[in-house]
Chains A and B, each alone.
Chain A
Amino acid sequence: MNWTTEQILKLSPDAASAKAARGLLNPKKWSGLGTNERAVWGLCQGSGSKPYQAQIDLSEPAFKCSCPSRKFPCKHGLALFLLLAEQLKEFNQSSPPEWVAKWIESRSGRAAKKEAKELEASKAPADPEAQAKTAAKRLERVKNGVADSQRWLEDFVRTGVAQASSKDPAFWENAAARLVDAQAPGLARLVRELSILPSLGAGWQERMIEHAARLHLLLEGFQRIESLPEDVQSDMRALIGWTEDQDELKRQPGISDEWTVLGQRTELEDRLQVQRCWLKGRQSMRAALLLTFAYGNQAPFSGLMSGTCFEGELVFFPGRLGLRALLKTRSENTRVARELSGGSLTEEIIGWSEFVARHPWLQRYPMSLSGVIPMDHDGAWRLIGSERHQVTLHPHFQSSWNLAALGGGHPIDVFGEWDGDYLMPLSAVAEGRFVEFES
């Protein structure tokens, strides 16, 4: 895969690192630059006497550097990668020096070991008794957490939702933290999302009641989860915070198609950065959501570029919703996307309500609108469809003017996340040109 400067900069943990890396883009600051199919390496003179050894395993990509920085990847790794993308002629095509060969070998060894372990694990689960014990313990904790949460939510409603906007941040945070302790991180997230509703402006009270009611529905449903259909159980367990065994999932057959990367958005959830990457299959017309997580200083990156299409196989998580998926295999080649294959406003709203009927807790629906005109009307930005319908853009969307400029009053195609009230645009296509918006 050929990496572009833009793709590489997305790996940067923060803007300062990207800037620092750019300052190292002078080949004069490097020696022993080399690359082969698997790796790239080089020595960068830092403030110390010994130059830093920077190297990248291109198969992931994975970074390693001998500098003391705690950023990951560090500026040397990023700069090395940028140099490779921008000034390939500075690199010798050669076999790696020993310090690189060793690392790559250990990584391959590790990968092989991991694979072997997985294979073993798939054959014989390690001590099923102990596993069952752990699972039962967790279930007990979650049950307690759910009961605690129900009391909290009923208290909240008893005193009146109108007061929610004047609550101390700790009111929400403590409730969320208790749910994290109860090993129900999904529920904690739902509580945190309640806390931001007052910031969305007019009509937040109704939205608050609605979201609180959905949370209530989930907590109630959990009391008798065994009586519900299996796919609904999967959806509820995922919402509460149980994770799927992804290795196990990957072994299952998936859906092969040409997938368009419609848009991506990264949000911070309690120190965890979560990137949502939305895909759509050309033949299957199926929407898919890939999630990538990263802690702390690293930026999550799906490895996919918005506005490109690739051939690949996706495995969908179990459940009735059927949006979240894993990327099982993908082609190296990509092509540029020139359309979002969306529908009219009415079609898309109906498509969304079908999803809500299947999954009442649906938070974000991938909405592709074709032929809409962005306009500042009646105190908010809207997208106006050909049948004089409108949807309102999310109050936190920063690029409304950019969207309007892109359209120039002509209909354009817009992709975004629809939450039932607002659309958060992630990308748009005008005259065959794909444009991504920053979140």
Chain B
Amino acid sequence: MSSSPKPVREESCWEQIVRASLLGAERGSLPMLDHPSRALLSQLDGSKREASLLSAAAIVSLHQRCGALPALTSAVLPPPAKKDSLPGCGPGAAVYLRRMLKGEHTILLSEFLAALHAAGKRVPEELLPEVLDAARKESSLRKQLAAVVGKRGEWLAAQNEAWNFVGAAISHQDWEVSSRADRVMLLRRLRLERPAEALQLIASTWKQDPPDDRIAFIAELQAGLTMADEAFLDAALDDRRKEVRQKAVEFLAQMPQSGLVRRMIDRLKPLVVLSQATGSKLKKMFGGNVALEITLPSACDDVLQRDGVEPKPPQGKGEKAWWLAQMLALAPVAFWTQHLGIKPEECIKAAAASDYTDDLLPAWAAATRRHPDLEWARALLGYALENSRDNRLLAVLEVLPAQEREEAVIKLLKRDREKLGNEQAGLNLLQVCPGPWSINLGRAVLDLLRYQTQQITAGKIKFAWNWFQQPEVFATRLPVKLADAVQEGWTADLLPQLQRPIQTMIEILNFRSKMLKEIEK
């Protein structure tokens, strides 16, 4: 049959079979089978159309499969990654990393990466995609990223658009056309090295940038803030968006030399003075009680509003006192010691004796945090510990050096042990004590929690929903040296609503402790 005519179209035998099968055996014509396996194919019973089509498909496809060779590629391989000098972390540490990347205790991921960095190690190659994904979703993880993903991570990120935050950021030329996230990344990096250039970039497109971009960009000025930023910030006081104006006020207020601060001081000077009766040098010399004479501002005009004073008071507050409090919070506290000519303690005492205690003191505390002043911080803290234990005043703790701050918090943790959650001043102020806490502070925290769980279980303190709301945060700040101690000393018959947060804290602290040990191995 060598003379039999070939099919008109140059279609392979397999293609004919595919076409016939796709159309359906009832419609398509049976293929003309010109194939090396024709001896087999010719035995098929053509009267059974479907069966013979399937048989032909089996014969021809197997024939092809058995002679198959791998396909040639047209791919052009990119240059391989350069060798990393740092070693990858060990398998033990990788187990913990993998667990976090799968969603367990993700709160510890940034600590893991920082510890890895400190130990001079890298993320194991096969986990890089998940680490990069985590950093894409959570930009706070990007700080130590470059070091811990190494050259391999940079090589990998260069191949995936989603990971473009690693390695070379966008350049100045791309400023106008890049996404908000990319521009923020560029600003953040630039602001640390050349702050003036970052400001220039922001200013270059400020007028046409949409409000949400403006809010994001102006926030980046916090790092490296100097008087060089003043003119721009002062102009931003006229922005259409409130969030932008608030940021501008905040940053201008942080600069004692700014026009806003000077204007505020000028306005305040006549409003708070020593009263005539006590203002004499004589009285001062003999250390008698001083009194303040306070005049409330008469109006909150456009100019004052522009400088950040909100005209409408919160409910239950007099509007003029509210204006004064806001003005006070914007001026450096050092001004008062100089202006009134008395020590911070005396200022505070006089304010406490005035009709406006509750306006003056919190405002001064806010000003003390804005323009850190150790003397004022100590004075306000001393007053608050003795008298009100007002959390707004106690917040000046953040100004103090770590050790002094912790000592004060420990003192507070030992008082008012029946108060729960943020009502307990010590627990509340832990918010301004970043981790890791000292062993002493850690012990004091645990002692108080143990006491409270015991008392609640015994029915002596009433359980409240706000009791110990953030066990995760506590666990990230407690020193890992207490990982064993934290398991001890809880009352045996804990109520379930107490047990859950305690258990969470124990679990996370344990996880941290083990993970850090593995990294050091």
Residues of A within 8 A of B67 (CB): 353
Q: Digit string of A150-175 for contact with B (CB within 8 Å is 1, else 0)? A: 10011101111110000000000000
Q: Give the segment of A112-120, A141-149, A203-211 that binds chain B.
A: A203-211
Interface flag for B71 (CB, 8 Å): yes
Q: Across the interface, do A213 and B58 meet the contact criterion of CB distance under 8 Å?
A: yes
Give the docked Cα–Cα distance between A371 and B70 (Å): 15
The yes or no answer to B350 lying at the interface (CB within 8 A) is: no
Are B73 and A382 closer than 8 Å at their CB atoms? yes
Q: Looking at the assembled complex, report how far the CB atom of B152 sits from the nearest CB atom of chain A, in whole angstroms.
A: 5
Given contacts A205-B18, A356-B65, A405-B128, contact A213 B70 (CB under 8 A): no
Binary contact track B69-80/A, C-beta < 8 Å → 1, others 0: 111111101111
**Contact among A206, A356, A404 with B159 in the assembled complex (CB-CB below 8 Å):** A404
Nearest Cβ distance between residue A265 and chain B, in whole angstroms?
17
Residues 218 to 248 of chain A near chain B (Cβ within 8 Å): 220
* B257 proximal to A (CB < 8 A): no
Which stretch from A48-56, A256-264, A387-395 is at the chain B interface?
A387-395
Given the contacts A360-B62, A402-B129, A161 and B22 also touching, CB distance less than 8 Å: yes
Q: Does A23 contact B (CB under 8 A)?
A: yes
A435 interface hit (Cβ, 8 Å): yes
Residue pair A404, B156 in contact (C-beta under 8 Å): yes
Bound Cα distance from A28 to B484, whole angstroms: 11
Contact of B73 (CB < 8 Å), options: A162, A384, A408 = A384
In chain A, residues 348-403, which have Cβ atoms closer than 8 Å to a Cβ of chain B? 349-350, 353, 356-357, 360, 373, 375-378, 382, 384-385, 388-391, 399, 401-403
CA distance A415 to B347 in the complex (A): 77
Q: Are B68 and A349 in contact (CB under 8 A)?
A: yes
The answer to whether A160 touches B69, judged by C-beta atoms less than 8 angstroms apart, is no
Beta-carbon contact of B62 and A356 below 8 Å: yes
Asked if B21 contacts A209 (CB within 8 A), the reply is yes
Q: Which chain B residue lies CB-closest to A436?
A: B126
**From A390, A391, A410, contact of B80 by CB (8 A):** A410
- Provide the bound-state CA to CA distance between A153 and B160, in Å: 44
Chain B, range 73-113, C-beta contacts under 8 Å to A = 73-75, 77-81, 95, 104
**A138 close to B (CB within 8 Å):** no
Asked if B77 and A384 sit within 8 Å, CB to CB, the answer is yes
0/1 interface trace, chain A 258-302, chain B, CB 8 Å (1 if under): 000000000000000000000000000000000000000000000
Q: Indicate if the CB atoms of A349 and B69 lie closer than 8 Å.
A: yes
**Known contacts being A26-B506, A210-B57, A213-B58, is A345 close to B70, with CB within 8 Å?**
yes
B50: Cβ under 8 A from any A Cβ: yes
Contacts A385-B70, A389-B72 given; does A160 touch B54 at CB 8 Å: no
A349: chain B residues at CB < 8 Å are: 68-70
A340 an interface residue at 8 Å Cβ cutoff? Answer: no
* B175 contacts A by Cβ under 8 Å: no
B61 to A, closest residue via Cβ? A210
Candidates A220, A376, A408; contact of B55 at CB < 8 Å? A220
CA distance A46 to B172 in the complex (A): 62
The residue from A23, A377, A402 contacting B75, defined by CB atoms under 8 A apart: A377
**A346 on interface, CB distance cutoff 8 Å:** yes
Chain A contact residues: helix, strand, loop or mixed = helix
Report chain B residues within 8 Å CB of A384. Answer: 73, 75, 77
Q: Check: A200 CB closer than 8 A to any chain B CB.
A: no
In this complex, the member of B22, B74, B506 whose beta carbon has the largest number of chain A beta carbons within 10 angstroms is: B22
How many angstroms between the C-alpha atoms of A216 and B48 in the bound complex? Answer: 13
B66 A353 Cβ-Cβ under 8 A: yes
**B22–chain A nearest beta-carbon distance, Å:** 4
Are A378 and B126 neighbours in the complex by a CB distance under 8 Å? no
Whether the Cβ atoms of A401 and B160 lie closer than 8 Å is yes
Asked whether B125 lies within 8 Å of A162 as measured between CB atoms, the reply is no
- Bound CA–CA A430/B24 (angstroms): 48
Q: How far does the alpha carbon of A373 sit from the alpha carbon of B130 in the complex, in Å?
A: 20
One of A6, A157, A360, A410 near B53 (C-beta < 8 A): A157
Cβ-defined partner of A389 (8 Å) among B51, B70, B155, B156: B70
Residues of A within 8 A of B75 (CB): 375, 377-378, 382, 384, 390
Q: Residue on B with the closest CB to A401?
A: B129
A420 lies within 8 A of chain B by Cβ: yes
Chain B, interface residues (CB within 8 Å), range = 35 or more
A206 to B18, CA, bound (A): 6
**B27 interface contact, C-beta 8 A:** yes
Q: Which residues of A contact B159 (CB under 8 A)?
A: 376, 404
Known contacts A154-B51, A157-B21, A213-B57; is A409 also within 8 Å of B69 by CB? no
- Within 8 Å of chain A (Cβ to Cβ): is B26? yes
B127 interface residue, CB < 8 Å from A? yes
Cross-chain contact B61 with A213 (CB below 8 angstroms): yes
CB pair B80–A408 under 8 Å, yes or no, is yes
State in angstroms the CA–CA spacing of A263 and B324 once bound together.
Answer: 73
Q: How far is the CB of A416 from chain B (nearest CB, A)?
A: 14
Residues of A within 8 A of B24 (CB): 157-162
The verdict on B282 contacting chain A, using a C-beta distance below 8 Å, is no
Contact A390 B487 (CB under 8 A): no
Interface pair B50/A430, CB less than 8 Å apart: no
- Decide if B503 is an interface residue (CB 8 Å cutoff): yes
Contact flags (1/0) for B275-301 with A, using CB distance below 8 Å?
000000000000000000000000000
How many angstroms between the C-alpha atoms of A435 and B463 in the bound complex? 50
- Asked if B70 contacts A390 (CB within 8 A), the reply is yes
Our pick among B127, B130, B152 for the contact of A408 (Cβ within 8 Å) is: B152
Bound Cα distance A431, B238 (Å): 61
Annotate B259-275 by CB proximity to A: 1 below 8 A, 0 otherwise: 00000000000000000
Find out whether the CB atom of B22 lies under 8 angstroms from the CB atom of A160: yes
* Given contacts A402-B126, A405-B129, A408-B125, A377 and B73 within 8 Å (CB-CB): yes
Question: Of all chain A residues, which has the CB nearest B24?
Answer: A160
A157-B50 CB under 8 A given contacts A409-B78, A420-B65: yes
Instruction: Return B471 CB to nearest CB of chain A, in Å.
Output: 14
Does residue A78 face the partner (Cβ distance < 8 Å to B)? Answer: no
Q: What does the 1/0 interface line of A181-225 toward B look like (CB < 8 Å)?
A: 000000000000000000000000110011011101100100000
Nearest B residue (CB) for A358: B66
Question: Is A406 located at the chain interface by the 8 A CB criterion?
Answer: yes
Interface string of B20-50 (1 = CB under 8 A from A): 0111111100000000000000000000011
Question: Is the Cβ of A401 less than 8 Å from the Cβ of B54?
Answer: no
Q: Which residue of B lies closest to A346 (CB)?
A: B70
A154 to B52, CA, bound (A): 10
Complex CA distance for A159 and B22, rounded to whole angstroms: 8
User: How far is the CB of B119 from the nearest CB of chain A, in Å?
Assistant: 19
Given contacts A160-B24, A209-B21, A401-B128, 19 further A-B contacts (CB under 8 A): A150-B51, A154-B50, A157-B24, A157-B25, A157-B53, A158-B24, A159-B24, A161-B24, A216-B51, A217-B54, A376-B159, A378-B75, A402-B129, A402-B130, A404-B159, A405-B128, A405-B129, A420-B65, A435-B126
Q: Which 10 A-B pairs have the closest CB atoms?
A: A409-B80, A160-B24, A213-B57, A408-B81, A216-B54, A390-B73, A389-B70, A154-B50, A213-B58, A401-B129
Q: What are 13 contact pairs spanning A and B, CB under 8 A?
A: A150-B51, A153-B50, A157-B24, A162-B23, A205-B18, A217-B58, A377-B74, A388-B73, A401-B129, A404-B156, A408-B81, A409-B81, A410-B81
A residues at B contact (CB < 8 Å): 5-6, 19, 22-23, 26, 28, 150, 153-155, 157-162, 205-206, 209-210, 212-214, 216-217, 220, 345-346, 349-350, 353, 356-357, 360, 373, 375-378, 382, 384-385, 388-391, 399, 401-406, 408-410, 420, 430, 435
Listed in ascending order, the chain B residues whose CB lies under 8 Å from chain A are: 17-18, 21-27, 49-51, 53-55, 57-58, 61-62, 65-75, 77-81, 95, 104, 125-130, 152-153, 155-156, 159-160, 487, 503, 506-507
